[in-house]
Structure 1
Amino acid sequence: MAEAVPWTDPVTQGDDRAMRRRTLTLALLTVTYFFSYMDRQILAILQELIKADLSLSDTQLGLLSGLAFAIFYATLGIPVARLADRTNRRNIIVASLTVWSAMTAAGGLAMNFWQLLAARIGVGIGEAGSSPPSHSIIADLYPPERRAGAMGVYSLGVVLGAAIGTFIGGTVASFYGWRAAMFAVGLPGVALAVIVYLFVVEPRRGLSDPVPETHKGPMPGLAAGFATMLRSGPALHLVIAVTLTSMIGYGLTAWGPSYMQRSLGISILEISLYVAPIGAVVGTISAVGGGRLADRLARTRGLYAQPWMVAWLKLIALPFTLGFFILDMPVAAVVSYFLYVLFANSYLGPTFALIQGLAPLRLRALWAAITLLVINLIGLGLGPTLVGVISDLLEPTLGAESLRWSMFLFAAVTPWAIWHYWRAGVLLKRAG
């Protein structure tokens, strides 16, 4: 008589498989985010070449890297997030990655401002489906006391995407032109989409939460998502803080290479070969180290200590941020920039981990999308755009130095963001 085969719960099997692939899933989501940020920020290193080739103004360049991209990227994130809260998140990420990679490469075919604008809008549409489902997956795979560290690893996509995109784009553009650089960073993303589809596992929602939520009743609607976030004081302050920080960061990232070329006399190739790789190392230390420090503080002091950590690190970074624009010696200015990155770049992991921890389980992707909507409409949309507009307004008076002082004004907004991080910590501590 044949032995009976023991019955295995398919839910348990699925959970075990998701946890076994947790590290691989986080790695692939991070690489996807890396491609997202690289394709989004590739214009930064190419701006001076594109400006000369297509005869564009700083305002037009700011629109291409800021508002035109951000409007579609941010607004479409909401319906994508609603879809992600209901369906397979991995498949959404795969489709999005394919679209934005193809549109990045298509930008290399543009012959005027309007064609390049259309390509950038396509990139924004594609990238709308990346971060909200990724945040939701990571929150399901990592418990609250390890979530900031995981989000810190995921945030490496920002650091490495900007730095390696600058390295690849600037190097290729120096030898083959800006159009070839767009092809070089866009097309590999299509191959990555296949890898993500094959190896990323869709986890059960709430898999790593200590107290699972019940799933009775209909899925909460969009209005409920906004209402629950507005009622959460800590979440509201965190969203304001990260939005202001992102506005400053996007503005400085989008125009940093142009500033180095115009005011510091550093060439595209030098930025690509020296500044970008060192910036990648320093940014990695900041993101990973900041995430681990935030996890330790959560275990030893409580979650309220995480936004306070970010506030203190940003306060330390502020003089180095301003020094990047005040110092005239190229080496001293770039060193000041690296120190700014070291202290200021650790905010993303703890911020998004806290927001995911505060969000109701079935609204995690939506809360991420709402956060990204505000961040990107104001931060990404206005940051690069306003830097370009202010630079054009200051140009009759300050000439070639107009970009320097436009960026300085943006960096000076940092204390406002610091206050909101501090306030979020106060409210989290009161909540116990």
Structure 2
Amino acid sequence: MTDAATPSQTTTEAVPGYKTGFGTPLYRGYVLSSLLVVYIFNFIDRSIFGILTEPMKLSLQLEDWHMGLLGGLAFAIFYTTLGIPIARVAERRSRMMIIVISLTLWSLMTVLCGFATSFMTLFIFRLLVGVGEAGCTPPAQSVIADYFKPTSRATAASIYALGVPLGGMLAGLAAGPINDYVTGENVYNLFGSWGWTWAQGLVDWNSLEGWRIAFIAVGLPGVLFALILFFTVKEPPRGYSDPPGAPRKAVPDGFGTVLKDLMKKPTYVHVVAGAAIASFAGYGVAAFSTSFLLRTHGLTLTEAALIFSLVLGVMAAIGVFLSGFLADRLSVRYPTALSWMPALGMGLSVPLYWLGYLSPTVPLMIPPLMLAATLHYFYLGPMYAVSAGVVDSRTRATAVAITLFAVNLIGIGLGPTLIGFLSTGLKTMMLDGNTIGLTLQMCKDVTVLAADQAAACRDADARGLQWSIIIFASLYGWAAIHYLLAGKTLSRDMLSKTA
């Protein structure tokens, strides 16, 4: 992988790319598809934790607050704090090389999660998954902005953002069935049938539980794809596709200067605030979505994963794509479409989420949740388009990294963690209010309790989580207000808007 020849970046002369983008249409499509696959792996390795929450919780004898920390703060500590330093390196070095190295690291750490033996070892591996994933999106969004002309960037950004729902969907399709139906003995015998006797002796496969095998199975392909990426995707010239008159600096501004400039742009501030709130709600709910179906509706892990990953994942993917596709087209006539479209989608999703999560049966639950998933994801494509559009080509990776720092620190870092504490707190309140003297400690092992006591524990566990999810889903209304306010200054603040 080599850098492409870089045109002069100290003049404001028009470059051909502002009308066509960099490379041929076919190659641009391949690059965008490859970056989408990277982002899919990013979210598979991130989302699988939420899918496997219940079997991990039971296997390691943990509580919801433990799982919230592992799914949220453990991952977010380095994922958020390292994103900006890595982005600063990406402003000066090969962005594609950073993506390749990052993909390799987080994939290997996902594999090691399958060998964790305690809360602390799993915490450490989740930390390192976050280290790897910190190097994904900021350089990827900077690369996309150089490959695609301004009038196609929202669509390209939304296609890349499809990695969020598609990664979550594929995580469920893989993790649920693997956990329920694949045993260590199956894997051991499979290696033997392939003649890989050397692989049979690597670990004690017969003792591995299904959730451990799932981590290994989704992590290894990422390492292989990193090799493909290294040999096939070129580093584009910086600023190649920017319009005439767009700022092109020979060297990137310092971090303090970039941050100061961004804080002067109300559009950016409101979009980041809205996206952070939406991310807080979304990651919190996603961390316990399969657990909700297991506890409230009595489904198996495979059934729950298929519903939330396949049915809702497809609808979320449609919403993400439409957010950018429609924004690019509507912006010609309605310049503030990047603002009001996400606001409308998230605002309408709130009552639909209430209806879905309060439905007494799964058939009644699915339709409103499908529509809500489509609408609330309208914010994602515009978030990336605005973050890359309010700055010059030399500071895009930093701008996206600052966006992701705020969004993920609040979203991933606090969302799963606080919904876990809220669920445990509500469960405790419901147990304290029962008439049979149950406590949280007594409910740790329901197999030793009388039938009525076990039923009361399960009911408190289910209702505590159900109302926690409803509370979190209501926050999309707050996020919608911020996107709506961003429309007041959108036309003024965007730099890359020339056709």
Q: Is the 8 A contact 1:54 1:112 kept in 2?
A: yes
What CA distance in whole angstroms lies between the structure 2 residues aligned with 1:206 and 1:385?
39
Q: 1:227 aligns with which of 260, 266, 271?
A: 260
What CA distance in whole angstroms lies between the structure 2 residues aligned with 1:407 and 1:282?
19
Q: 1:237 aligns with which of 258, 270, 293?
A: 270
Q: What residue ranges of structure 2 are gaps of 5+ in the alignment?
A: 8-14, 183-209, 431-459, 495-499
Counterpart in the other structure of 1:318: 350
Q: What residue ranges of structure 1 are gaps of 5+ in the alignment?
A: 1-8
Q: Is the 8 A contact 1:225 1:363 kept in 2?
A: yes
Counterpart in the other structure of 2:214: 181
What CA distance in whole angstroms lies between the structure 1 residues aligned with 2:474 and 2:374?
18
Q: 1:319 to 1:191 in 2, by over 3 A?
A: same
1:319 CA displacement = 1.0
Superposed counterparts of 1:48-197, under 5 Å = 48-176=54-182, 177-197=210-230
Q: Percent identity?
A: 39
Q: 1:31 aligns with which of 28, 37, 58?
A: 37
Counterpart in the other structure of 2:11: none
Q: Is the 8 A contact 2:22 2:147 kept in 1?
A: no
The question of 1:207 aligning with 2:223 is answered no
What CA distance in whole angstroms lies between the structure 1 residues aligned with 2:63 and 2:247?
54
Q: Is the 8 A contact 1:167 1:273 kept in 2?
A: yes
Q: Is the 8 A contact 1:265 1:330 kept in 2?
A: no
What CA distance in whole angstroms lies between the structure 2 residues aligned with 1:285 and 1:122?
31
Counterpart in the other structure of 1:6: none
Q: 2:291 aligns with which of 258, 262, 282?
A: 258
The question of 1:292 aligning with 2:354 is answered no
Q: 1:383 to 1:10 in 2, by over 3 A?
A: closer
> Comparing 108-117 with 292-301, which one deviates more in the overlay?
292-301
1:334 CA displacement = 2.4
Counterpart in the other structure of 1:377: 409
Aligned with 1:201: secondary structure? coil
What CA distance in whole angstroms lies between the structure 2 residues aligned with 1:305 and 1:214?
24
One-letter amino acid of the counterpart of residue 81, structure 1: A
Q: 1:16 to 1:136 in 2, by over 3 A?
A: closer
Q: Is the 8 A contact 1:285 1:342 kept in 2?
A: yes
Larger Rg: 2
Counterpart in the other structure of 1:403: 465
One-letter amino acid of the counterpart of residue 389, structure 1: F
1:298 CA displacement = 1.3
Counterpart in the other structure of 1:307: 339
What CA distance in whole angstroms lies between the structure 1 residues aligned with 2:307 and 2:425?
32
Q: Deviations over 1:299-333 (max 9, x none)?
A: 2222x222101111112222111222221212212
The question of 1:386 aligning with 2:418 is answered yes
The question of 1:346 aligning with 2:352 is answered no
Q: 1:10 to 1:407 in 2, by over 3 A?
A: closer
Aligned with 2:179: secondary structure? helix
One-letter amino acid of the counterpart of residue 93, structure 2: T
TM-score normalized by structure 2? Answer: 0.81
> Comparing 165-174 with 422-431, which one deviates more in the overlay?
422-431
1:257 CA displacement = 0.8
Q: Deviations over 1:336-383 (max 9, x none)?
A: 211111211222111211121112221100000000000111111000
Q: Is the 8 A contact 1:97 1:189 kept in 2?
A: yes
Q: Is the 8 A contact 2:22 2:241 kept in 1?
A: no
Q: 1:355 aligns with which of 352, 364, 387?
A: 387
Q: Deviations over 1:194-231 (max 9, x none)?
A: 11111212111111111255555653111112111101
Q: Deviations over 1:43-69 (max 9, x none)?
A: 111110000000011111001110111
Q: Is the 8 A contact 1:19 1:141 kept in 2?
A: no
Q: Is the 8 A contact 1:78 1:373 kept in 2?
A: yes
What CA distance in whole angstroms lies between the structure 1 residues aligned with 2:346 and 2:246?
35
One-letter amino acid of the counterpart of residue 162, structure 2: L
Aligned with 1:229: secondary structure? helix
What CA distance in whole angstroms lies between the structure 2 residues aligned with 1:10 and 1:206?
9
Aligned with 1:346: secondary structure? helix
What CA distance in whole angstroms lies between the structure 1 residues aligned with 2:6 and 2:278?
44
TM-score normalized by structure 1? Answer: 0.94
1:289 CA displacement = 2.0
Q: Is the 8 A contact 2:6 2:238 kept in 1?
A: no
What CA distance in whole angstroms lies between the structure 2 residues aligned with 1:25 and 1:211?
24
Counterpart in the other structure of 2:197: none
One-letter amino acid of the counterpart of residue 416, structure 1: W
Q: Is the 8 A contact 1:139 1:353 kept in 2?
A: no
What CA distance in whole angstroms lies between the structure 2 residues aligned with 1:83 and 1:331?
49
Counterpart in the other structure of 1:417: 479
Q: 1:42 to 1:16 in 2, by over 3 A?
A: closer
Q: Deviations over 1:70-98 (max 9, x none)?
A: 11101000110000011100000000000
Q: Is the 8 A contact 1:18 1:203 kept in 2?
A: no
Q: 1:212 to 1:172 in 2, by over 3 A?
A: farther
RMSD: 1.9
Aligned with 1:314: secondary structure? helix
Counterpart in the other structure of 1:3: none
